Amino acid sequence: MVFANSLNAQTPPNFTLTDTEGKVWNLYNELGKGKSVVLDFFFVNCKPCQKYTPMIQSIYESYGADTGDVVIFGISDRDANTAIKQFEQTYGVTYPSCGTEGGGDTITDLFQLNYSFLSWPTYAVICPVTTIYWDIIKSDSFPALIDSLKACPPPIVSIPKTALTEVKVWFNGATETIEIDNANQLSIDKINLFDLQSRSHIDEHIGYDNANLSLSTTSLSEGIYYLHITSDGRSIIHKCMVYHN
């Protein structure tokens, strides 16, 4: 297998972008859905960017485009939407892209604080568990990018063992809470929230039979957490991606 120039366990910074069609995307929100995210740092007059973009588009299509488990974000730190739209039309790009009007310059600056940019384009793969393959080796058909995507471990979304599968969990970014929908009012014995280092941030032992519960995340750092819910010795685990507006 061929990988990126570096695998970094550092949690990548979160960001929100607005693409050329006006749709808003958030990195952690997409990772929280179990999707791997490819970052394509480019600009429209960059000759290597023009060369490799059709290959990136082909990978996007091979993973099902909007219906698949891979999201690609094109990020330009210097182009306006009009120029990017012309670039998209010329090179057949259908994945979301943004320029200065959509936050591309801010996002590029954010990543330049944490990672080395040796040239444009620069490609990265971020796995659902937030490990990042940075500075993907560029070549025809992009085996390094594809191998990096394949190397992403499958996300833990849930481990169903009981009727607790009826309990639904999601992160509400608007209120910065983890929402627990217990519509059937099952008796929940315990709720734990752990980070990736297995440190406990919420440890509730009180029995619950409420229809709906909200757990505040305002004091938590951004990143991935696992919510462990138990009932009568049986359990279910949900992954939650926390970010702050």
Q: What is the pLDDT of residue 195?
A: 77
- DSSP secondary structure of 214-225: EEE-TTSPSEEE
Domain boundaries, the chain: 6-151, 163-242
Q: What is the pLDDT of residue 51?
A: 97
CATH class name, domain 6-151: alpha beta
Q: Residue type for 219, please?
A: S
Q: What is the pLDDT of residue 86?
A: 98
163-242 under CATH 2.60.40.3080, yes or no: yes
Element at 241 (helix H, strand E): strand 234-242
The pLDDT tens digits for 153-176 are 765 444 444 455 667 788 888 788
Q: What is the pLDDT of residue 151?
A: 87
CB 27 within 8 A of CB 15: yes
Return d(Cα 94, Cα 97) in angstroms, integer. 8
Q: Residue type for 209, please?
A: D
Q: What is the pLDDT of residue 234?
A: 66
Q: What is the pLDDT of residue 160?
A: 42
How much is the pTM?
0.70
- What are the residue ranges in the chain where pLDDT is below 70? 1-9, 154-166, 196-198, 203-211, 232-235
Q: Residue type for 220, please?
A: L
HSE-CB for 222 with a 13 A CA cutoff? 16
Return d(Cα 178, Cα 169) in angstroms, integer. 7
Q: What is the pLDDT of residue 109?
A: 97
Q: What is the pLDDT of residue 145?
A: 95
